[in-house]
Structure 1
Amino acid sequence: MIDKLQARLSFSKAADSYDEAAALQREIGQRMLERLDYVKLKPEVIVDVGSGTGFCSGQLIKRYPKSQVIALDFALPMVMKSRTHRHWLKRPHGLCADLEQLPLADHSVDLIVSNAAIQWSTDLPSTFAEFKRVLKPNGLLMFTTFGPDTLKEIRQAWAEVDDKPHVSPFVDMHDVGDALLGARFADPVIDMEMITMTYSQLRPLMADIKAIGAHNANSERRKGLTGKKRMHAFTQAYEQFRSGGVLPSTWEVIYGHAWVTDEIPQYQDDQGATRINVSAVRRSST
């Protein structure tokens, strides 16, 4: 289970250091946004959920200059940082909010983009249901997140030192797809790729993770400082992964998108029969 407060504090502290260390996040964000080249969409309102310092927000402003772009993040320093990029065509609207409770009206958004953020949700099915609530009919959700093999070297090395979780939990690709279907998104497409970052030493690897705010936010993590003895044991255990003179850091990147269909409102009565709102049918057929 994610400790949301710990995650928010970590990202708040990382606002100033994030851009220097977030090469991976920028790369997968760019790869995600390139998929919009194949989508026929003219969004009026776009929300960048988990915007961080605003990389995707800036790219969306460039791609859709007439759209209203909202940079939404649960860490206020990140939101403020996203509004300091003076070289953009215009600044995004900033909104500090939790992706699990969007302060947005029903059916008010044409496009939700979320890069490396939904892994911080404590209830993914409810989060997707919230996304669907604010999206207009024929609206699009596009996202990236991380799968369970992410940072597997850290997880395996610490397993030789103690039995506490040292990596935040990540959801399997198939469970992500099931959550989309459960939220009644249409035509979900999910795919995955493995990306390996390499480092000459462990210290800069761990420093990069800290700099982007991706601390261990598992609620069952060990509280308190890591002693020198335990840290040395972890470092030694990590060395088993060294190959070709470098240490790997594996990231399982999941890409996904899904649509909101132009649904006809319906409900079930007490006897379980499905009833359709006739006025809605008339509106949709005109």
Structure 2
Amino acid sequence: MSEMPIDKERARRAFSRSAGSYDESAVLQREVGRRMLERLDLVRLKPKTVLDLGCGTGEQTHQLLQRYPKAQVHALDFALPMLAHARRQGRWLRRPHCICGDMEHLPLADDSMDLICSNLAFQWAAHPQRLYQECLRVLRPSGLLMFTSFGPDTLHELRSAWAQVDDHAHVSPFMDMHDLGDILVNSGYAAPVMDVEHIVLTYGQVDDLMRDLKSIGAHNAAAGRQRGLTGKARMQAMRQAYEAFRSEGVLPATYEVVYGHAWAPKKPGAVSVPLEMLNRRKED
């Protein structure tokens, strides 16, 4: 699959409007970002240039500034109001370099980044293949791409409840982990690794879930969504359908979180020499 039916302009407007309320409700995003960055502990990488791609308000940007104190950290987002928050991360003498741009058309030079991190932003790409190719373009040889995204099981309860009301798309579409892995391979990355986990948040009422989604800007961005407002009768029917998932007094909201990382290949002609061979030469 090379394209997703995402209305990216609608997504950009939604995230712009939610910049002020995002941090209050982005509990899942912070936790997933923390788990992703923990994986960097297993990677031997001392980047000089780092890109937080789809930085939002800059929570992860702040963590990257702390993790790599000698690196130049860049933060890119397509929603300018989000960047207004992100540029305040760090401290006075060391702020991130903030860029308002499209992650599918990165305003960055070839071979300019050693590390690209992206937390729960890639699912908003209209052309995933182009996105991953752009990341590869700006990565230096042996640079690392590390990202998280949502899988198709995300908010399946909400999707199911709406399906009993009408046949419109009420939840944005998300790509399967295996399809994302295929894109990485086809784009030319080396040693891609993919895995997935399910995280369940709980709510007293479905309206609490809807309020959280609105607060972080995660509106339905499906290109085939219903236009206009949803009527009160259909909203009530959806609430009743969602009640079928209630367990132990709460309503679940499932998120399928996909973790991925892959390396930019070495330049053609590069030769790897085992360390023991170098030591042997010195002894000779």
> Is residue 2 from structure 1 mapped to residue 6 from structure 2 by the alignment?
yes
- The aligned runs of 1:58-137 (5 Å cut-off) are 58-85=62-89, 90-137=94-141
Distance 2:54 2:77 in 1: 5
Q: Secondary structure at the match of 2:195?
A: strand
Shift of the alpha carbon at 1:263?
2.6
Scaled by the length of structure 1, the TM-score of the pair is 0.91
- Segments of structure 2 that go 5 or more residues without pairing to the other structure are 274-284
Aligned to 2:277: none
Distance 1:285 1:230 in 2: 62
Provide runs of 4+ in structure 1 moved above 4 Å: 86-89, 283-286
Distance 1:203 1:168 in 2: 18
- Segments of structure 1 that go 5 or more residues without pairing to the other structure are 265-280
> Is residue 255 from structure 1 mapped to residue 259 from structure 2 by the alignment?
yes
> Is residue 170 from structure 1 mapped to residue 170 from structure 2 by the alignment?
no
Shift of the alpha carbon at 1:85?
3.7
Shift of the alpha carbon at 1:126?
1.4
Shift of the alpha carbon at 1:83?
1.5
Q: Secondary structure at the match of 2:37?
A: helix
Distance 2:90 2:271 in 1: 43
Aligned to 1:244: 248
Distance 2:108 2:88 in 1: 24
Aligned to 2:281: none
Q: Which among 185, 207, 222 is matched to residue 203 of structure 1?
A: 207
Q: Secondary structure at the match of 2:214?
A: helix
Give per-residue Cα distances to partners, 1:41-90, cap 9 Å, x unaligned. Answer: 11111000000000111000000011111110000001111112466883
Paired amino acid for 2:172:
S
Aligned to 1:185: 189
Q: Secondary structure at the match of 1:234?
A: helix
Distance 2:255 2:90 in 1: 32
Q: Which among 8, 18, 22 is matched to residue 14 of structure 1?
A: 18
My pick for the range that moved more, 76-85 or 12-21, is 76-85
Give per-residue Cα distances to partners, 1:16-36, cap 9 Å, x unaligned. Answer: 000000000000000000011
My pick for the range that moved more, 153-162 or 86-95, is 86-95
Identity %: 59
Give the 3 Å change call, closer, same or farther, for CA 36–285 of structure 1 in structure 2.
closer
Conserved in 2, the CA contact under 8 Å of 1:62 and 1:89? no
My pick for the range that moved more, 136-145 or 202-211, is 202-211
Aligned to 1:143: 147
Distance 2:143 2:81 in 1: 29
Aligned to 1:35: 39
Give per-residue Cα distances to partners, 1:238-280, cap 9 Å, x unaligned. Answer: 111000000000000000000012131xxxxxxxxxxxxxxxx
My pick for the range that moved more, 244-253 or 81-90, is 81-90
Q: Which among 235, 243, 248 is matched to residue 239 of structure 2?
A: 235
Conserved in 2, the CA contact under 8 Å of 1:61 and 1:89? no
Conserved in 1, the CA contact under 8 Å of 2:141 and 2:266? yes
Count of aligned pairs between the two proteins: 269
Distance 1:62 1:167 in 2: 35
Distance 1:144 1:90 in 2: 26
Conserved in 1, the CA contact under 8 Å of 2:62 and 2:90? no
Scaled by the length of structure 2, the TM-score of the pair is 0.92
Aligned to 2:278: none
